[in-house]
Structure 1
Amino acid sequence: MTETKQLLIQEQGESQHGGDDGNGKICWKPPRRYVVAFLSFLGFMSTYTLRVNLSIAIISMEEEFEMYKIKKGLILSAFFYGYIFTQIPGGWIARRYGGKKVFGFSVLIASILCIITPLIAFDYKWVIVIRILQGLAEGSTYPSMHTVWSKWAPAPERSRLATISFSGSYIGIVVTLLMSGFITEIYGWKFIFYIFGIISFVWSLIWLWNVGEDPDKDIWIGNDEREYINSYLSGPDRLEESHASPPWLKMLTSRPVWAINIAHFAENWGFYTLFTLLPTYMKDILNSSPKNTGLISSIPYLLLAIIIQLAGQLADQLLKFKSTTFVRKFFTCTAFAVQTFFMLVAGQLQKSEENKITAIMCLILAISLGGFSWAGFSINHLDISLSWASILMGISNTFGTIPGMISPILADQMTSPNGAPSDWTAVFTFSAAVYFAGAIFYGLLASGEEQSWGRRQLSVQDSDDSNDESD
């Protein structure tokens, strides 16, 4: 396709805001790809309300069921033991059967499990089973969404579309933290599960009915926008066969793949450490009330959701002047460096009584500014291989899930029962070291170039991998 035609198609696609209403008048409508982005934003928001609601409800459940106090840690961690096992299989299934279907049915199943949770809550063992099953269902959400964007996101808008989608996760945290207390006070803890479960169930039906698997299968998209999107996602080197075998060895020995894996691990280490322990820290160090703890704990996730979307917009603008490799490294490494700084500063400030509020502000910045890294490593899978992006996300999110299983436990071991300031300094310093290591490895290994194993099935003639690992 000539450059002139490519620019013409892009202009047509970007101006796809209208349609004939049947009376010769042009009526405004948003580009279809942004409707998909908004619906997926709501989908990720739903998944996190289903994931986080137990953390709030269990406070009231402990008053009704004695064993919940004893088994609290096991109950809360059960989700991740299911979540980690469906990352890679979820990516493979989405690649074969469609990301739209896998994403929608994953939320549908998780919502049903949420709704029935109060019915079996009399026995904590059944709640553990439910949480493991919910983790298994939700484990395929991020990988399947990468399949969706491999078919829906044109390269010039890939960062903003994906970050709009992913930012819903953190809005889900905010909504759950703010609403659950009111729901419990008015209706009781069981309605936390009923309300969020029903909302997520309805969303899944809307998604499955409203969104096409790709622009060619979507009945609502305009012809100009369809041609615009497809102009970036078609070509002689694309691997279109859904039944083709993934190049496992090539993927698992690829430096750019390992750069993404390490970055995903590093970002989630700090995130899960603070997500789990920030309320405890505020109680131990600041003697904060439960009401204030919930309010303050929601602030970084609201900022995170805003920053992720801002980062996506900035990344796409920067791509007009810089290479994809530079943009991905810039956003990831800069975010990690800033997070390292604020973690170290927080660790030192919280030692003195007069600086504890400033320390909390540093921790909030450490969490929220991590949103810039999501315009880097979290989209990088799509850069190096559109064909295998869902599986690559499954691999990296497997690494990203490990911190959720071990970082809170390690942090809990590092802190004494009374939460001495020196203990928290060690926790923050360790997290800073993980961020710093993530920045170094990603800066050295990452690439924004499509890899040869990501474009086509390898043959004997493909033994020369000179294009791989390129910058």
Structure 2
Amino acid sequence: MALTNEKVQTYGTETTVNESTETHPGWMFWKKRRYVVATLAFFGFFNVYALRVNLSIAIVAMTENKSITLDNGTIIYGPEFDWDSKIQGYILSSFFYGYITTQLFGGWLSARIGGKRVFGGGIAITAALTLITPWLAKVNVYLLLAVRIIEGIFEGVTYPCIHAVWARWAPPLERTRLATLAFSGSYVGTVVSMPVCAYLAKALGWPSIFYFFGTLGLIWFGIWWVVVAETPAEDSKITKAELKYIKESLGHSDGNRRITHPWKEILLSMPVWAIVVSHFSENWGFYTLLTQLPKFMKEILNFELGKTGFMSALPYLAMSIMIQFSGHLADWLQEKGILNTTQVRKLFNCGAFIAQTVFMLGAAFWLTPAGTISCLTLAVGLGGFAWSGFSVNYLDVAPQHASVLMGLGNTVGTLPGILSPIISGYVVTTPTAQEWQIIFYIASGVYLFGCVFYGVFASGEVQPWAIQKEEGKGTPMKERETKGHDNKSFEPDL
């Protein structure tokens, strides 16, 4: 690692951080405790999504026709749970009823008691509830609905509260890099858990899905609780060099400065609503496929359960790859001066939405296994470019208010998780290919609306109401006003 003096600008202050004592190469992440935290956060988000999507596969096994032996020895042929499509829609969306309620609360609570505790506790309680899900499902469908809602409540704190972890652990120029590493666990968790759930259901029965991932979540929690400290100063394994580097890079930021959020200006800002609408649009397609794709493959494409889990994971594998590629490309276009921030955000976001509209329509008309899977994989995968548009845009328009804007956007972005499965349950009742085509038409329309709205109203510039007013300070915010937000997440670790 080269000897560097790193200048960090933090809203009116400039700090010079000497990084020369950090002698470990970038690839030796286990030597740097902040990257150990990020890696364990990666596996935390892996569990978050594994615990979220397990029911999407399990419900296929729970409701399929098969031979069942009753307690008295009688053998009947039929589903173990005779739930119609409407009930299944409510079951699949119930998680999000709770999830939407704790987005803002999770950020507030983690600021009070610490991000490590809230993040770990939220996943641990969800995992423990997952272990009792099979028993509750067999007792009463309303108990299943209740436990899924409660799981959503505890998982809802995970995304906002992780920012409290980075506030104490991440040097300013590494925050996006560390956050990207952690959040990518969500997509990897989806890719891995879907085929594993399908295998477990076929080999050991659908209850094994909940036992396996519930246990895995509790094991992760034990490791997280023991290994990760709330702050670098409390970490007994951290080196003096790393502790000094983190403290110095964060020490001159006024972490205790009270930020007043201009709610009226935020709620009347069209660039903010452009981001929120895009967040909603992207999540509509994402959650539609997350909750409905296994059923579609089983009912229309006639895939066996084991193959359904594997094929359902392909779109999310594509997305996990594309999101890394798009981030590199977006930063390169800005660094070379080819496009400014606004142009990059609009190009990536609107380009992705147009492509997703086309491929969703392609999936509706090309109802063959190869054609449909190809279209849906491209539709979800290209969403990675959209995430390099709207998701980073929160930092462009209002850096110091970005966490609040993310809470607003993620709250609205959770609505598709509630609405899409319910609408699908009412539309797909027979089921027929024509009914499923309507679901793809709706997703295409939402993508197209998001594209037009974002293309018209989005901006990559710091908004006037977000410019910090401080007397006697430098002008870094003015510089950001003209440049937008520089994403350092993919710069090499020299």
Aligned to 1:145: 162
- Equivalent residue, structure 1, for 2:54: 53
TM-score computed with the length of structure 1 as normaliser: 0.81
Q: Match for residue 83 of structure 2?
A: 69
Match of 1:402 among 415, 419, 422: 415
Residue identity opposite 1:434 in structure 2: V
The answer to whether the aligner puts 1:12 opposite 2:19 as a matched pair is yes
Q: CA RMSD in A?
A: 3.7
Counterparts in 2 of 1:60-459, with a 5 A limit?
Answer: 60-62=61-63, 69-70=83-84, 71-121=87-137, 122-154=139-171, 156-215=173-232, 218-222=235-239, 225=242, 240-241=256-257, 246-322=261-337, 323-350=340-367, 357-385=370-398, 387-415=400-428, 417-421=430-434, 423-450=435-462
Name whichever of 338-347 and 125-134 sits farther off.
338-347
**Alpha-carbon distance change, 181 to 363 in structure 1, aligned in 2, over 3 angstroms:** closer
Superposition deviation, residue 394 in structure 1: 1.9
Deviations along 1:251-274, one digit per CA (max 9) or x if unpaired, are 323334322211110101111222
Counterpart secondary structure, 1:286: coil
Inter-partner Cα distance in structure 1 for 2:100 and 2:25: 43
Aligned residue for 1:6, secondary structure, equals strand
Please give the per-residue CA displacement for 1:309-330, whole angstroms capped at 9, x wherever unaligned.
3334444444533555444444
Q: CA deviation at 1:204?
A: 2.1
Q: Please tell me whether the aligned partners of residues 198 and 308 of structure 2 are also in contact (alpha carbons under 8 angstroms).
A: no
| Matching residue of 1:32 | 33
Distance 1:10 1:302 in 2: 38
Does residue 43 in structure 1 map to residue 56 in structure 2? Answer: no
C-alpha distance 298-226 of structure 1, shift in aligned 2 (>3 A)? same
Q: Note closer, same or farther for the CA distance 1:268–1:469 as it changes in structure 2 (3 Å cut).
A: farther
Q: 1:183 to 1:286 in 2, by over 3 A?
A: closer
Give the TM-score normalised by structure 2.
0.78
Separation of aligned partners in 1, 2:18 and 2:414: 40
Counterpart contact for 2:6–2:19, Cα < 8 Å: no
Shift of 1:221: 4.3
Task: Calculate percent identity across the aligned residue pairs.
Answer: 45
Give the superposition deviation at 1:46: 0.4
Tell me, in whole angstroms, the C-alpha distance in 2 between the residues paired with 1:325 and 1:217: 41
Whether the 8 Å CA contact 1:451–1:468 is kept in 2: the answer is no
Sort the Cα spacing of 1:192 and 1:277 in 2 relative to 1 into closer, same or farther, 3 A: closer
Tell whether the 8 Å contact from 2:123 to 2:155 is kept in structure 1 after alignment: yes
In structure 1, list runs of 5 or more residues that go unmatched. Answer: 20-26, 460-464
Asked if 2 retains the 8 angstrom alpha-carbon contact of 1:263 and 1:439, the reply is yes
Deviations 1:365-401 (A, max 9, x none): 1012212222332233344455443332221111111
1:376–1:210: structure 2 CA closer, same or farther, 3 Å change rule? Answer: farther
Residue 458 of structure 1, CA deviation? 9.8
Q: Report the counterpart of residue 462 of structure 1 in structure 2.
A: none
Go from structure 1 to structure 2 and tell me whether the alpha carbon gap of 1:307 and 1:10 turns closer, same or farther (over 3 Å shift): farther
Contact 1:57 1:180 in 2 (8 A): yes
Structure-2 change in CA distance of 1:273 and 1:235 (3 Å): same
Q: Kindly provide the CA deviation profile for residues 50-77 of structure 1, in whole angstroms up to 9, marking residues without a partner as x.
A: 1122233334445689556254333222
Letter in 1 for 2:326: A
Q: Normalized per residue, which structure has more helix? A: 1
Unaligned runs of 5+ in 2: 9-14, 71-78, 472-476, 485-494
Deviates more, 1:58-67 or 1:76-85: 58-67
Q: Could you tell me how far apart the structure 2 residues matched to 1:383 and 1:333 are? A: 17
* Residue range with higher mean Cα deviation, 32-41 or 377-386: 377-386
1:263-299 Cα offsets, whole Å, 9 max, x none, are 1101011112222332333344433333322221111
Corresponding residue SS for 2:336: coil
Closer, same or farther: CA 176–368 of 1 in aligned 2, 3 Å? same
Shift of 1:450: 5.0
Equivalent residue number for residue 22 of structure 1: none
Q: In the TM superposition, what is the alpha-carbon distance from 1:134 to its structure 2 partner?
A: 0.3
**Contact 2:29–2:36 at 8 Å: present in 1 too?**
no
Distance 1:310 1:255, change over 3 A: same
> Which letter does structure 1 place at the counterpart of 2:380?
I
8 A contact 2:397–2:463 mirrored in 1: yes
Q: Is the 8 A contact 1:164 1:309 kept in 2?
A: no
Residue 199 of structure 1 deviates from its aligned partner by: 1.4
